[in-house]
Amino acid sequence: MTPYARRGVHGQTVEALARRILGGRIPEGATLDLVALQSELDVSLTALRESLKVLAAKGMVDARQKRGTFVRARADWNLLDADVLRWQFEGADEATDADRTLLRNLAEVRAIVEPAAVRLAAERRTDADLAALEAALEAMGAQGTDPAQAVDADLAFHRALLTATHNELLQRMEMVIEPGLAHRDRIVHSHPHSEDPVPAHQAVLDAVRDQDAQAAETAMRALLAQAGRDLDRIDGPADGGPDDTKGTGGK
């Protein structure tokens, strides 16, 4: 599904409502006061209803006669939707407890998807795929790369790996992985004591270039383990239990 594009007042209204729901300011089961929201957000009732249709399509709200428009249970939300993921992370400067939980969930997804995907990439990569991976790695290691550029380079590398699988469904996994990866990267790359990401990514690229599927998987697992160490060094293990994220990409 193509991410929802921000379009003027309509896009801003969708995102404002989504973040209130995702952040718990409008709790599950709550009935929305459309008149109050219209006044508070300074939008027309038509614009508000159109915005709610977007959230309804993502499973976040619904409407019933006599009850009105209400927030659905979180179990009904499309948490794999790229916008829902992005709205939860965008604008955060550090990992909150809620972010940590979602980051751990995404890390587990990455640990399942990326090692298997990189095996296919090693077997199927083309010269164009290698060129895309090399360009991303070069950007990642460029002297003076600022945090935003480092994030973009990392995203480009992992996107190129999924593209190199030449599996359309795996390629679409970028929409699930990228929002959480971008958020993790923003935290890590703004911290002075994170490990250099280039050698771990270089090992993945070398194995893919050599078409060594087993080495590629091993290198990817090492990369994900480093990702977990970086975030744990900054944020510490999650409260209430052992650090079960090390070796799986952590956050």
Q: Does 244 score more than 50 pLDDT?
A: no
- pTM for the structure as a whole: 0.79
Give the pLDDT score at 113.
Answer: 96
pLDDT in tens, 11-54: 899 999 999 999 899 999 999 999 999 999 999 999 999 999 99
Q: pLDDT higher for 21 or 229?
A: 21
Q: Does 150 score more than 80 pLDDT?
A: yes
Give the pLDDT score at 172.
Answer: 93
pLDDT level of residue 251 (50, 70, 90 thresholds): very low
Give the pLDDT score at 5.
Answer: 55
- Weakest-pLDDT range from 18-32, 121-135, 175-189: 175-189
Tokens of 11: 């896009």
Give the pLDDT score at 234.
Answer: 66
Give the pLDDT score at 249.
Answer: 38
Give the pLDDT score at 240.
Answer: 41
